[in-house]
Amino acid sequence: MSIWQDLEKKYYMQVVRRQPVTIVKGLGTKVWDDENKEYLDFTSGWAVNNLGHCHPAIVEAIKNQAETLMQTSNQFFTVPQVQLAQLLVENSCLDRVFFANSGAEANEGAVKLARKYGKLNKNGAYGVITALNSFHGRTMAMISATGQPHYQANWQPLYEGFSNVEYNNLDAIKQATNENTCAVMLEPIQGEGGVNIPDPSFFKSVRQWCDDNNMLLILDEVQTGIGRTGTLFGYEQFGIEPDVITLAKGLGGGVPIGAFLAKESAAALEPGDHGSTFGGNVLTTAAAYAAVKYAIDNNIEKDAKVSGEYLKDLLEKATDSLPNISEIRGRGLLIAVEFTEDIAPELVSTCNELGLLLNPVRPNAIRLMPPLTVSKEEMDKAVELIVEGVKTILAKGKK
């Protein structure tokens, strides 16, 4: 084990179950560890590095901005913050942006906005309906929103005003709705929950229900945004317009930034209602502007769609030799491969050794989320390594 892993055990809060890999360098889809071993990175910094590691457009923007100005307070105007806001508004159905520093924080802001909306437009309604198996972040309010007992159990009492109901089930949302409900908050596709795709009509009916009951529809696009699922935003695939979306992960191309965007009709916040010292910081917004501009100018979402189909095809073909694959699901380059047994953790460590980084999203499923710039050769190689990994595990089991 490397010295860094020993030191981490000694000094770092032991909250993460890490893979025994110390990454020191990245370029495109590849990363290298501290012994210069090369890996294909199909985790992309957790669906963050949509343009690959150290994309020159982003590196250049960071260098230039770092030499010019790194931080001012938000009591002043800055250029990259406004440029990024304009770019996002002009390429989405939303009208206004607020920048935060992470996905959880973006969602917190969206919920504050929804409560303010309820106060102004629905007699103080404050309740937010979210889904079971969702993931919205790790702050107190967001673990209350996140419908997974594992994230909630040790932190009772939870934050009031959230109800977690079955995903992809309009009736469950209807039953949970009352006069105190101001919003429904959902992921367009559940990411951490295992890459769960709703029925094609689900979001249309949720949209209608929200309209009928004067509730905001908030889509948590922290993982699905910026091209990941084959469209610039996930909502585009369901033929609806949300009132609010939240972004983070892919937004910064590798730097920490989050955002919530709202339609003018939902933008209930006023001066003094919300803020953040680092939110909308010039360095991160300059990097994010470069990342999003490049993504839009180069139709990166089309690459995600085409490569996603290629990768799913390869995986389908692999099922010929791997009968223990039970399902392959996903959109764009957010894909899960489910197995008939709980082999995901072992498969991930076997693939580490073979030089492929993966995420065990469920005990029986791995998640593939490579950079959207991934090449065919890299996908060919990754699927070869997955097949080899599964066969290695099966062979051990037979001994």
Ligand X SMILES: *Cc1c(COP(=O)(O)O)cnc(C)c1O
CB closer to ligand X out of 107 and 177 = 107
CB 249 within 8 A of CB 225: yes
Q: Which of 58, 84, 94, 104 binds ligand X (CB under 6 A)?
A: 104
What span, in angstroms and rounded, lies between the C-alpha atoms of 194 and 212?
31
What span, in angstroms and rounded, lies between the C-alpha atoms of 214 and 163?
18
Q: Which of 220, 238, 243, 263 is catalytic?
A: 220
Q: Which stretch in 49-57, 220-228, 236-244, 278-286 sits in contact with ligand X by CB under 6 A?
A: 220-228
108 binds ligand X (CB under 6 A): no
Q: Which of 137, 250, 332, 370 binds ligand X (CB under 6 A)?
A: 137
Q: Which of 135, 162, 203, 260 is catalytic?
A: 135
Nearest to 332 by CA among 365, 381, 368: 368
Helix (H, G, I), strand (E, B) or coil at 108: helix
* Backbone angles phi and psi of 132, in degrees to 5: -65, 150
Q: Which stretch in 16-24, 62-70, 102-110, 169-177 sits in contact with ligand X by CB under 6 A?
A: 102-110
116 counts as catalytic: no
Using the structure block, give the residue that is written with the tokens 């590196």.
59
220 counts as catalytic: yes
CB 145 to ligand X: min, Å? 9
Q: Which of 26, 28, 45, 103 binds ligand X (CB under 6 A)?
A: 103
367 binds ligand X (CB under 6 A): no
CB 133 to ligand X: min, Å? 11
Q: Which of 223, 229, 281, 350 binds ligand X (CB under 6 A)?
A: 223
280 binds ligand X (CB under 6 A): no
CB closer to ligand X out of 191 and 389 = 191
Question: Chain-centre distance of CA 32, in angstroms?
Answer: 24
135 counts as catalytic: yes
Helix (H, G, I), strand (E, B) or coil at 255: strand
Q: Before 256, cis peptide (omega within 30)?
A: no
* β-pair partners for 190: 196
Using the structure block, give the residue that is written with the tokens 């009591």.
75
CB closer to ligand X out of 372 and 387 = 372
222 binds ligand X (CB under 6 A): yes
The token pair that represents 268 in the structure block:
């209930």
Nearest to 136 by CA among 254, 244, 278, 289: 244
389 binds ligand X (CB under 6 A): no
Nearest to 218 by CA among 182, 175, 248, 271: 182
41 binds ligand X (CB under 6 A): no
CB 135 to ligand X: min, Å? 5
* β-pair partners for 362: 365
* β-pair partners for 53: 28
338 binds ligand X (CB under 6 A): no
43 binds ligand X (CB under 6 A): no
Q: Which residue numbers are catalytic?
A: 135, 220, 249
The binding site for ligand X (CB under 6 A) comprises 102-104, 107, 135-137, 187, 191-192, 220, 222-223, 248-249
